[in-house]
Amino acid sequence: MPKHVRAQLIKLTKHHGFVRYFKNTAWLLLEKVLRIVVGLLVGVWIARYLGSEQFGTYSYVMSLVGMFAAVATLGLDAVVVRKLVFAREKHEHLVGTAFALKLVAAACLYLLLVAYSVFAAPREAKELLLIMGAVVFFHAFYVMDFYFQSIVKSRSVVFASTLALLSASAVRVCFILMNAPLVWFGWAFLLEVMMFAAGLLYFYSANRRSIRQWVFEKNIAIDLLKASLPLVLTAFSASVYMKIDQIMLLEMVGANDVGQYAAAVRLSEAFYFIPIAITGSVFPAILRAKEIDVELYRKRLKNLYSLVVWIAIAVALPVTFLSDSIIGSLYGAEYASASSVLVIHIWAGVFFFLNAAFVKFLYSESYEKKYLYRSVFGAAMNIGLNFVLIPSYGIQGAAFATLLSLAAMNYLYDVLDRDLRKHLNMKVSCFDPRALLTVFQRRDR
């Protein structure tokens, strides 16, 4: 290792702030990896046990609940954390107000879920939807996580999350061994969220905080809602273009096809934590470059795009050629149709990876509204393409709809936007293999 690199590393390890943030990031990354590994292993077992039709119903309900849960956040997470960092003396007022807002939103959304379950949901999904939909109430308790984020102490959150994950996973395995009915797995889904909320409450109290001290303040509520409205719309739009395919598939072709599709998508999306981890780690350096030299800033952005795109391609290539073996080994012969979906959907990851990096650029340029418009555009494209492609091509059509809508959001929208159009060249050239070589240069020149 070069001396200047070794010296810099030694200097960083002695910097209290760096060590603090590094440990915090490491805990979060560890939890994400553990969740993916455990979730994938247990999820595959559940899929094999339930069979494609029941697994399709389960995945359909999870997708629908996920969309409602995205709205239930009210986009408050980042807003409240930012305010807590700069106004710790208002902790009880901020957290208490956010909790009240989330609880009211949860009640309204659950009533909508009940109405949908009674009047529109497929018969086999009605009970499951009512059980799993109740998670929106317990999501309100996630406001305690805002406190831990604001003091850069995510270890407690990771402990609570990991305990809930492992406990609920053990319950799911027991249900499989007991030959339990589908609805029991809905209760296990709810149990995990309840245990996480209970764990947050325990660690929150251990930090000498009490929910009894929470205070609702009308002025803070109005301020939070004004700041978070674009964020909740963005979150909902993003959840639509990520989850609407499984909902539309059940309505248009049936639960068995949803099960086949969901099996492939779970494998494809298992890699989606990679760009989030990378961008979270390197983007502070990119922002610092912006303050020094615009050209250096643009070069580092281009390097980031090249890095994430080629990592995605490196993942997609072997999966494409080994899809039959992967699906057969993990899910068995019943899910053979999932292989053709995996071959298509894994390439959507290229544009998901690129988008994860580009979103950081949008925030750095204060383009939050453009992020919202792009997300709405992507959701609308996905819905429209699903209507066109699913009737003719079934689950492969849904996979193509996801791939094409993500590509359109990354490129077609940018062509239509004057400010983003000048940035388009970097996002095109990042597919040039030669661009990847500059990523590993020691210095930006």
User: Can you give the residue range of the structural domain that contains 316?
Assistant: 271-445
Give the pLDDT confidence of 12-57 residue by residue, as tens digits.
Answer: 444 444 455 556 566 667 777 888 888 889 999 999 999 999 999 9
3 state SS of 121: coil
Helix (H), strand (E) at residue 152: none
- Given 194, 211, 228, the domain boundary residue is 228
Query: What pLDDT does residue 49 have?
Result: 95
Residues 182 and 283 in one domain: no
Q: Is the pLDDT at 411 greater than 50, yes or no?
A: yes
Query: What pLDDT does residue 209 have?
Result: 77
Query: What pLDDT does residue 270 have?
Result: 87
Assigned domain for 407 exists: yes
Highest averaged pLDDT of the listed ranges 21-30, 44-53, 218-227, 274-283: 44-53
Assigned domain for 242 exists: no
Residues 151 and 211 in one domain: yes
Query: What pLDDT does residue 176 have?
Result: 96
Q: Is the pLDDT at 6 greater than 70, yes or no?
A: no
> Are 81 and 150 in contact, with CB atoms under 8 Å apart?
yes
Assigned domain for 265 exists: no
Residues 217 and 282 in one domain: no
Question: What are the tokens at 7?
Answer: 């010296």
Provide the domain count of the chain: 2
Assigned domain for 372 exists: yes
Question: What are the tokens at 143?
Answer: 């406001």
Residues 212 and 91 in one domain: yes
Confidence at 217, pLDDT banded by 50, 70, 90 = confident
The Cα–Cα gap between 28 and 35 comes to: 11
Q: Is the pLDDT at 194 greater than 70, yes or no?
A: yes
Amino acid at 220: I
Q: What percent of the chain has pLDDT over 90?
A: 42
Query: What pLDDT does residue 4 have?
Result: 45
Residues 290 and 417 in one domain: yes
Which of 400, 420, 401 is closest to 410 using CA atoms? 420
Query: What pLDDT does residue 16 have?
Result: 44
> Are 149 and 137 in contact, with CB atoms under 8 Å apart?
no
Residues 37 and 185 in one domain: yes
Assigned domain for 280 exists: yes
Query: What pLDDT does residue 335 have?
Result: 93
Residues 326 and 402 in one domain: yes
Assigned domain for 348 exists: yes
Residues 347 and 203 in one domain: no
CA torsion 70-71-74-79 (nearest 10°) is 30
Query: What pLDDT does residue 8 have?
Result: 46
Average pLDDT over residues 349-357: 90
* 254: region left, alpha or beta (phi > 0 left; psi from -120 to 50 alpha): left
- Residue 442 DSSP code: S
- Given 160, 195, 228, the domain boundary residue is 228
Residues 104 and 220 in one domain: yes
Assigned domain for 246 exists: no
Which of 160, 166, 140 is closest to 69 using CA atoms? 140
Query: What pLDDT does residue 12 have?
Result: 42
Give the pLDDT confidence of 366-399 residue by residue, as tens digits.
Answer: 777 888 888 899 999 999 999 999 999 999 999 9
Residues 188 and 285 in one domain: no
- Residue 334 DSSP code: G
Amino acid at 209: R
Q: Is the pLDDT at 223 greater than 90, yes or no?
A: no
- Average pLDDT over the chain reads 84
Query: What pLDDT does residue 28 have?
Result: 66
Query: What pLDDT does residue 14 have?
Result: 47
- Given 228, 259, 293, the domain boundary residue is 228
The Cα–Cα gap between 406 and 174 comes to: 38
Query: What pLDDT does residue 135 have?
Result: 93
Residues 284 and 163 in one domain: no
CA torsion 84-87-90-96 (nearest 10°) is -20
**Residue 147: which residues within 8 A CB-CB, separation 6 or more?**
84, 91, 95, 204, 207, 209
Amino acid at 70: A
Assigned domain for 233 exists: no
Helix 294-331 vs helix 273-292: crossing angle, to nearest 10: 180
Residues 45 and 182 in one domain: yes
Question: What are the tokens at 237?
Answer: 């739009």
